[in-house]
């Protein structure tokens, strides 16, 4: 973020910062509320003693509060800008609702109810969140994800969820509405990016309690200092005591704390991840185990034809043409991939012969194929199903090929033909789950960050082992049921580890809900998105690396600025305490190591620095401290050296420079 951009954002959000001076807002931040009370008291004192010192002090105390509000306002403003673009995608639509008797009626989208069936044709906007129950269509989701490429949404499987406000580009689908108006995914996104539904995280609450405790300690210390000063013969004005209190309480982190949390969620939105809670963002920073659903997450989700293996005397060309013929009318992803592979290997692109009829797959037969006009039947299916259809003894070569494909992590589809009483096994189609590109490299990155990856799949152990090795995950859970996933998560959590899981299917929903960080794919089902506490709009399972880095960055930033804020107070002791008691105790002049001009300039310089450092740290609070993979001890050491030592040194330099500037002002210098 350049200085000019930040300056424009600050100027734009200045009215919002002034509105936040309302005490009903400030009381949520006890530290800044104390500063507000001090500003009010000092302002009242100005009317009793309108000196240059008290007026200057009142101005800079008010600026301290405004600068603290400005940090939060700038963070919220960035989210509101994103919310405005999302609102532009929300349109009022007329929905075509299908009644129980099949009749259509036009209903405003705002009146849709959960369970309504809605027809959406090409060119129409989907009126509400739901699942495709009939049909397949190409959908433009750029208004939600920012990705211009259309996506396919189809009934059944894990790519059925559609979002209100997106547009159907081709075909017609029937959508079952799953969210009532006002609580749609788009509405939730708008509320979250605006910050209106952001709650403090456990870590943030704990830090707030620490800040309140420190503030109470300093309030009591300053309150008892007044009678002690009177007893010592060095009575102190109320304005000086207020200045001391404001400089000693942790105003820097108190002012920036909310901005850090908002900016963390904002950074997630910028990488197209929607966090449903701040708790999930924090938990992501401490994740040590990652469970990944195989289908649709590690692999593309649809098995694709990898090769055709002929049996016996059947040639490659003969098998290629037969499997293409058997799959021409098969509109499943597997069927389309078989035709595509056959064409890639040189098959003719002809339609089904005259009189041929397609035989669809059923759970009973576990086969599909085609019946030709001359009486020839061609079938493809599981080995046991083809064995029963063909009858007799299967070739030994077939058994070897099936075992080889299975051990390679693939799925064998046996192809056979029958004409009259003659049956022939022709070959095997090797279907394979295709691992997404770049998975090995991304999992290696996770491993370097100390995160263990576990692939979860319903496949048999042999297939799971092969896919796990190809993808580069650390471990796998095969033949997993939803209960198995839950048990694995509980075992990991019982060992003190935080667990993250990505998934997209309805069967992933229980595990997504149980995980500390549940990242649902936007392409997944509504049930998965409701169960998770994050939604990846790009549906990229490797996005978890970015999520973990942002989570760690949030925690590191909060810790770094807390260290800096507390370390800042050391220099302020040397500025204000000698100035307050130098008259009564001349020996305290030895503590005036900065050589500040007068007691008034020393106190005012500390207050001015206290205000300006908030503005100086706003960019760091919004951008975050740069994350570098390292151990907790290394991060702590870096925090102490950079922000602890830096927090001690910076005020000495800053306060001295400010003193040199203001010491020439009459009534202060």
Domains (ranges, CATH) in the chain? Answer: 3-82+192-268+548-663 (no CATH), 273-298+437-537 (3.40.50.1000), 301-434 (3.40.1110.10)
Q: How many CB atoms lie within 10 A of CB 529?
A: 27
Q: Which of 319-323, 372-376, 388-392, 406-410 has the lowest mean pLDDT?
A: 406-410
Confidence category of residue 200, pLDDT binned at 50, 70, 90: low
Instruction: Tell me the C-alpha distance between 478 and 476, whole Å.
Output: 6
If one compares 302 and 343, the residue with the highest pLDDT of the two is 343
Contacts for 90 with CB less than 8 Å, ≥ 6 apart: 164, 165, 186, 187, 190
pLDDT at residue 594, as a whole number: 82
Residue 101: what pLDDT?
A: 82
pLDDT, position 221: 86
Please tell me the predicted confidence (pLDDT) of residue 134: 86
- Find, among 410, 436, 438, 409, the residue nearest to 521 by Cα: 436
91 pLDDT higher than 70:
no
pLDDT tens digits for 320-349?
999 998 888 877 778 888 888 999 998 888
Q: Which residues define the annotated binding site?
A: 330, 334, 361-368, 380, 504, 508
What pLDDT, on the 0 to 100 scale, is given for residue 419?
86
Positions at the binding site for ATP: 330, 334, 361-368, 380
Residues 464 and 228: their CA atoms lie apart, in Å, by 75
Is the confidence at residue 8, as pLDDT, over 60? yes
Of the listed ranges 192-196, 311-315, 436-440, the one predicted with least confidence = 192-196
Within 13 A of 285's CA, how many CA atoms are on the CB side? 25
More confident residue, 662 or 363: 662
Type and span of the H or E element at 292: strand 287-293
Average pLDDT over residues 585-590: 78
Q: Using the predicted structure, report yes or no on whether residue 305 has a pLDDT greater than 90.
A: no
Residue among 286, 664, 302, 299 at smallest CA distance from 497: 286
User: In the predicted model, is pLDDT for residue 180 greater than 80?
Assistant: no
Six-digit token string for 620: 């760091």
- Identified catalytic residue from 293, 433, 536, 569: 293
pLDDT at 359 over 80: yes
Q: What pLDDT is stored for residue 205 in this prediction?
A: 79
CB 508 within 8 A of CB 501: yes
Q: What is the DSSP letter of 589?
A: G
Pairing of strands 534-536, 517-521: parallel
pLDDT at res. 38: 92
Per-residue pLDDT band for 296 (boundaries 50, 70, 90) equals low
Q: 3-state SS of the chain: helix, strand, coil percent to 5?
A: 55, 15, 30
- Verdict on whether the full-model pTM lies above 0.85: no
Residue 63 reports pLDDT greater than 90: yes
Longest dimension (CA), the chain: 119
Cα–Cα dist 594/397, whole Å = 90
Query: From residue 155, how far is each of 43, 115, 133, 169, 480 by CA, in Å?
Result: 67, 16, 5, 16, 24
Question: Which of 599 and 660 is assigned the larger pLDDT?
Answer: 660
* pLDDT over 70 (residue 198): no
pLDDT at 86 over 60: no
Bridge pairing between strands 117-121 and 94-98: antiparallel
Predicted local distance difference test score (pLDDT) of residue 514: 87
pLDDT confidence of residue 79: 60
pLDDT above 90 coverage of the chain, percent: 12
Of 142-146, 418-422, 493-497, 532-536, minimum mean pLDDT range: 142-146
Q: Does 365 score more than 60 pLDDT? A: yes
pLDDT at 193: 56
Distance between CA atoms of residues 404 and 462, nearest Å: 11
Residue 40 is predicted with a pLDDT of 94
State pLDDT tens for residues 594-639: 888 888 888 899 899 999 999 999 888 888 888 776 677 787 888 8
What confidence category does residue 201 fall into, taking pLDDT thresholds of 50, 70 and 90? low
Tell me the mean pLDDT in the region 564-591.
80
8 A C-beta contact, residue 402 and residue 420: no
Q: Is 137 within 8 Å of 173 (Cβ atoms)?
A: yes
- Sequence ranges of the binding site for Mg(2+): 504, 508
Residue 540: active-site member: no
**Ordered DSSP codes for 140-202:** E-HHHH---S-EEEESSTT--EE-TT-EE-SSEEEEEE-S-TTSSHHHHHHHHHHTTT----H
- pLDDT tens digits, residue range 40-55? 999 999 998 888 889 9
Confidence at residue 291, expressed as pLDDT on a 0 to 100 scale: 87
One-character DSSP codes across 311-338: -TT--HHHHHHHHHHHHTT--SHHHHHH
Please say if the pLDDT value at position 245 is more than 70: yes
The pLDDT score that the predictor gives to residue 522 is 78
Dihedral sign of CA atoms 53, 59, 60, 61 in order: positive
- pLDDT, mean of residues 350-375: 82
Q: Which residue has the tokens 């494909």?
A: 405
- Choose from 196-205, 261-270, 378-387 the range with maximum mean pLDDT: 378-387
Q: Which of 66-75, 184-193, 338-347, 398-407 has the highest mean pLDDT?
A: 338-347
Look at residue 614 in the predicted model and tell me its pLDDT.
92
pLDDT class for 190, splitting at 50, 70, 90? low
Query: For the residues 651-662, what does the mean pLDDT come to?
Result: 90
DSSP 125: B
Element holding 275 (H helix, E strand): strand 273-275
pLDDT at 36 over 90: yes
d(CA 276, CA 284): 13
Taking residues 244-268, what's their average pLDDT?
Answer: 84
Residue with tokens 């796998």: 476
pLDDT at res. 149: 59
Which residue is listed with tokens 């009189």? 355
**Predicted pLDDT of residue 608:** 93
Give me the helices (H) in 271-382, please.
Answer: 278-284, 316-327, 333-344
Tell me, what's the pLDDT at 301? 66
Dist CA 88 CA 189 (whole Å): 13
Query: What is the mean predicted confidence (pLDDT) over 487-511?
Result: 85
Give the lowest-confidence range in 21-30, 86-95, 521-530, 638-647: 86-95
Crossing angle between the packed helical segments 185-194 and 251-270, to the nearest 10 degrees:
150
Calculate the average pLDDT of the chain.
Answer: 82
């Amino acid at each position: 973020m350049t200085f000019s951009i930040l300056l424009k954002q600050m100027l734009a959000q200045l009215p919002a910062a002034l509105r936040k001076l309302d005490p009903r807002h400030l009381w949520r931040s006890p530290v800044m509320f104390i500063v507000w009370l001090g500003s009010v008291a000092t302002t009242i004192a100005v009317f009793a003693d309108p000196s240059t010192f008290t007026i200057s002090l009142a101005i800079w105390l008010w600026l301290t509060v405004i600068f603290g509000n400005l940090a939060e306002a700038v963070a919220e403003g960035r989210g509101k800008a994103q919310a405005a673009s999302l609102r532009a995608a929300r349109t009022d639509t007329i929905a075509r609702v299908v009644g129980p008797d099949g009749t259509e009626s036009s209903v405003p989208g705002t009146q849709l109810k959960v369970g309504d069936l809605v027809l959406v044709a090409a060119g129409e906007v989907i009126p509400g969140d739901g699942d495709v129950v009939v049909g397949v269509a190409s959908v433009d989701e750029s208004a939600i994800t920012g990705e211009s490429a259309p996506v396919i949404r189809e009934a059944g499987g894990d790519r059925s969820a559609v979002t209100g406000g997106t547009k159907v580009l081709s075909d017609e689908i029937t959508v079952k509405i799953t969210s009532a108006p006002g609580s749609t995914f788009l509405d939730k996104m708008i509320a979250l990016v605006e910050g209106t539904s952001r709650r403090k995280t456990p870590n943030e609450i704990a830090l707030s309690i620490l800040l309140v405790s420190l503030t109470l300690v300093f309030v009591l210390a300053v309150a008892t200092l007044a009678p002690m000063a009177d007893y010592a013969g060095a009575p102190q004005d109320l304005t000086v005591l207020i200045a001391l209190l404001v400089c000693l309480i942790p105003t820097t982190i108190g002012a920036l704390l909310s901005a850090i949390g908002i900016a963390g969620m904002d950074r997630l939105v910028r990488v197209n991840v929607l966090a449903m809670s701040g708790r999930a963002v924090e938990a992501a920073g401490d994740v040590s185990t990652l469970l990944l659903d195989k289908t649709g997450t590690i692999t593309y989700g649809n098995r694709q034809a990898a090769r055709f293996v002929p049996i016996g005397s059947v040639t490659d060309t003969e098998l290629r043409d037969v499997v293409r013929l058997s799959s021409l009318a098969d509109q499943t992803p597997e069927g389309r991939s078989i035709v595509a592979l056959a064409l890639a290997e040189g098959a003719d692109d002809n339609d089904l012969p005259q009189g041929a009829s397609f035989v669809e797959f059923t759970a009973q037969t576990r086969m599909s194929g085609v019946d030709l006009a001359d009486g020839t039947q061609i079938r493809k299916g599981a080995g046991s199903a083809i064995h029963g259809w063909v009858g007799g003894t299967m070739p030994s070569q077939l058994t070897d090929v099936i075992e080889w494909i299975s051990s390679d992590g693939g799925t064998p589809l046996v192809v056979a033909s029958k004409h009259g009483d003659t049956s022939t096994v022709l070959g095997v189609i090797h279907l394979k789950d295709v691992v997404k590109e770049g998975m090995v490299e991304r999992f290696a990155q996770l491993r370097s960050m100390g995160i263990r990856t576990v692939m979860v799949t319903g496949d048999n152990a042999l297939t799971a082992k092969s896919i796990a090795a190809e993808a580069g995950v650390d471990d796998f859970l095969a033949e997993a049921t939803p209960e198995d996933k839950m048990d694995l998560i509980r075992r990991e959590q019982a060992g003190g580890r935080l667990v993250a899981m990505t998934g997209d299917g309805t069967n992933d929903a229980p595990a997504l809900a149980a995980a500390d960080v549940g990242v649902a794919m936007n392409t997944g089902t509504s049930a998965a998105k409701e169960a998770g506490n994050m939604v990846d709009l790009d549906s990229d399972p490797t996005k978890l690396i970015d999520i973990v880095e942002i989570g760690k960055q949030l925690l590191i930033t909060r810790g770094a600025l807390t260290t800096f804020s507390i370390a800042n107070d050391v220099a302020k002791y040397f500025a204000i305490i000698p100035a307050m008691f130098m008259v009564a105790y001349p020996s305290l002049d030895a503590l005036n190591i900065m050589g500040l001009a007068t007691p008034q300039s020393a106190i005012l310089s500390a207050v001015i620095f206290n205000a300006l450092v908030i503005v100086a740290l706003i960019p760091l609070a919004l951008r975050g401290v740069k994350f570098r993979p390292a151990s907790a001890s290394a991060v702590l050491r870096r925090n102490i050296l950079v922000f602890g030592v830096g927090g001690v040194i910076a005020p000495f330099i800053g306060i001295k420079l400010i003193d040199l500037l203001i010491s020439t002002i009459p009534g202060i210098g």
